[in-house]
Amino acid sequence: MNRPIKTLYVVLFILLLLPVSLLALSKLGAYRMPAQPSVLDGGLAKSIEHHYDENFPLKQAGINLWAALEYLAFGEGRSGLVVGEDGWLYSDEEFDPVADGQRQLRDNLALIRGVQRQLEERDIQLLLAIVPAKTRLYPEHTGTHQPSALQRSLYPRFHRALRNAGIAAPDLLGPLQAAKREAPMFLRTDTHWTPQGADVTARALSDVVRSAMQLRGEPQQFVTETVETRSHQGDLTRFLPLAPLFESLMPQADRLQQRETHAAEGSSDDLFGDSDLPVTLVGTSYSANPAWNFAGALREHLQRDLANHAEEGGGPLVPMLKYLQSDELKNNPPQLVIWEFPERYLPMTSDFTDFDPQWLAALKDGGERQGLAAASH
């Protein structure tokens, strides 16, 4: 950006900020301090902030104006978002290098091997479903933005480490790349896949399962139906706070083909019963959110019911660790655990505060002893 444009930008910002600041100060005149203000613990600051939020009518307008300026002038949103081309939005987690990412990657790989060891002791097979990054499947819409070297290496590196450790993890990128010519595999404005992408993934995983093992019980027919096609504003649009003043600037909403899966007519809904389900699904919001119908697609293509222990918001490791400690696993062990694991989480930290550090250390130590971390290089 040259100097005149920078200067103009600063002047416009000051002209915008001055009247808004004066109005904000005028609203503080009506503030009533609490009878016993608590300064040291931040109570007074929170009280003032609450008053400001309730009594400053231009707050949302200011947010919209600033967001519009960033979006129009620089093609940027709030931190967390990368604005691509043609209305495509991406999470910056798929682009940015991760602080201490190499060490965290090795630690996470050791935990994965520890999980496999725990399941092997119960005679349970583990199948990793590594979800390719949206940037990997749709690099043509990222514009001038390029993922860091670490991010570019994650998918092949993850597969190589799992292959060397003897953990099944079929390539899902190839089937998704082939299918994207026929239908969108990921949503433009969301971090997640479409129901079509979830279905392609479920079919690929089911083919691997059928060729490798015989699931207990008799096959059960499931039917998937499209219940509606609706407008969908993806989770990434939260990083573009343009509404309501500049809602017209928002990328066009996605069209989401909502699907539901149910047992076929004449097929028992409780063929196995909750105590004898042969398959358990663990993972993230890709599996937990019914909007994508991934669990339903797996039921259809595996021809088996399954237990879904996926969770939203915690990454792939936390729900798996919860499952390892659950009564469900202890009392009703499945034959197969499918672990849905988006590649971008491999070098990221997780919130393990609810787990015993000694148990985690033992789990990770077991994985390190069996060589998965070394296989990641």
Question: Residues 79-108: pLDDT tens digits?
Answer: 999 999 999 999 999 999 999 999 999 999
Cβ atoms of 205 and 338 within 8 Å: the answer is yes
Across residues 272-295, what is the average pLDDT? 90
Assess whether 110 and 87 both reside in one domain: no
- Which are the catalytic amino acids? 190, 192, 285
pLDDT-wise least confident of 38-47, 126-135, 173-182: 38-47
Cis peptide upstream of residue 244 (ω within 30 degrees of 0): yes
pLDDT at 272: 46
Assess whether 188 and 211 both reside in one domain: yes
Assess whether 189 and 168 both reside in one domain: yes
Single-letter amino acid code for the residue at 164:
N
User: Phi first, then psi: what are they for 191, rounded to 5°?
Assistant: -75, -15
What does the alpha-carbon distance between residue 280 and residue 277 come to, in Å, rounded to a whole number?
A: 7
Assess whether 19 and 131 both reside in one domain: no
Assess whether 284 and 154 both reside in one domain: yes
**β-strand pairing of 336-342 with 279-282:** parallel
- Assign 247 a pLDDT band (cuts: 50, 70, 90): confident
Assess whether 209 and 175 both reside in one domain: yes
Assess whether 190 and 286 both reside in one domain: yes
Note the pLDDT tens digit of each residue in 324-358: 999 999 999 999 999 999 999 999 999 999 999 99
Note the pLDDT tens digit of each residue in 107-163: 999 999 999 999 999 999 999 999 999 999 999 999 999 999 999 999 999 999 999
- Assign 41 a pLDDT band (cuts: 50, 70, 90): low
Cβ atoms of 306 and 362 within 8 Å: the answer is no
Across residues 10-21, what is the average pLDDT? 66
Cis peptide upstream of residue 347 (ω within 30 degrees of 0): no
pLDDT at 109: 97
Assess whether 336 and 356 both reside in one domain: yes
- Answering whether pTM is above 0.75, one says yes
Residues 6 or more apart in contact with residue 38 via CB below 8 angstroms: 44
59-68, 159-168, 245-254: range with highest mean pLDDT? 159-168
* Of 32, 65, 92, the domain-final residue: 92
Structural domains in the chain (count): 2
Assess whether 84 and 107 both reside in one domain: no
Inform me whether the pLDDT recorded for 61 exceeds 60.
yes
**β-strand pairing of 81-83 with 125-131:** unpaired
* Of 40, 69, 92, the domain-final residue: 92
Q: CA torsion 27→28→33→37, rounded to 10°?
A: 130
* Of 58, 92, 126, the domain-final residue: 92
Cβ atoms of 260 and 227 within 8 Å: the answer is yes
The CA-atom distances, in angstroms, between 257 and each of 51, 100, 278, 298, 342 are 43, 39, 29, 17, 22
Assess whether 75 and 135 both reside in one domain: no
Assess whether 149 and 193 both reside in one domain: yes
The CA-atom distances, in angstroms, between 141 and each of 88, 90, 150, 185 are 6, 9, 20, 14
Assess whether 111 and 130 both reside in one domain: yes
Q: Which domain holds residue 263?
A: 100-375
- The token pair at 317 is 């490791």
Evaluated on CA atoms 149, 152, 154, 156, the torsion sign reads negative
